[in-house]
């Protein structure tokens, strides 16, 4: 799958996704300091599902209507040791293959998916 990890995404999780064979770009190394709008634009242009811990993307996509056609996965997980957080992220992403076209919230006990407008 093609992912774009937001700047706030942990390095260990990006590395683990790449090891699992996912084509994963990372804003922290490719475009540090990019605005949220620029990050969404890049994800859309490259056909990547955006991975983030930033709740602002819900506001941008669901309330302001900015396009995020490839999809957004918002992780709402407690701060943990990096290895535990990485395991949760990789396990959640491996659990499904229908991330595209949805705004998804991954929480400790559930995954909520909402189709994106348009």
pLDDT band at 118 (very low <50, low <70, confident <90, very high): low
Which residues are CB-contacts of 92 (< 8 A; sequence separation ≥ 6)? Answer: 73, 75, 106, 111
- What does the pLDDT average to over 69-74? 90
pLDDT at 80: 77
CATH (domain of 73): 3.40.50
* pLDDT (tens digit per residue) in 74-100: 999 987 788 999 999 999 999 999 999
Please count the structural domains in the chain.
1
pLDDT at 21: 95
DSSP single-letter state for residue 52: E
User: Does residue 28 sit in helix, strand or coil?
Assistant: helix
pLDDT band at 19 (very low <50, low <70, confident <90, very high): very high
Structure tokens, 7 = 């700047």
In which domain, by residue range, is 20 found? 2-115
* 39 neighbors 66 (Cβ within 8 angstroms): no
């Amino acid at each position: 799958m093609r992912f774009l990890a937001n700047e706030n995404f942990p390095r260990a999780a990006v590395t683990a996704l790449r090891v699992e064979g996912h084509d994963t770009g990372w804003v922290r190394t490719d475009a540090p300091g990019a605005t949220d709008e620029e990050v969404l634009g890049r994800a859309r242009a490259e056909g990547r599902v955006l991975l983030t811990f930033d709740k602002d993307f819900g506001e941008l996509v669901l309330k302001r209507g900015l396009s995020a056609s490839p999809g957004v996965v918002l992780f709402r997980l407690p701060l943990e040791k990096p290895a535990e957080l990485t395991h949760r992220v990789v396990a959640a992403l491996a659990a499904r293959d229908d991330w595209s076209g949805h705004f998804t919230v991954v929480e400790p006990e559930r995954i909520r998916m909402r189709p994106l407008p348009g």
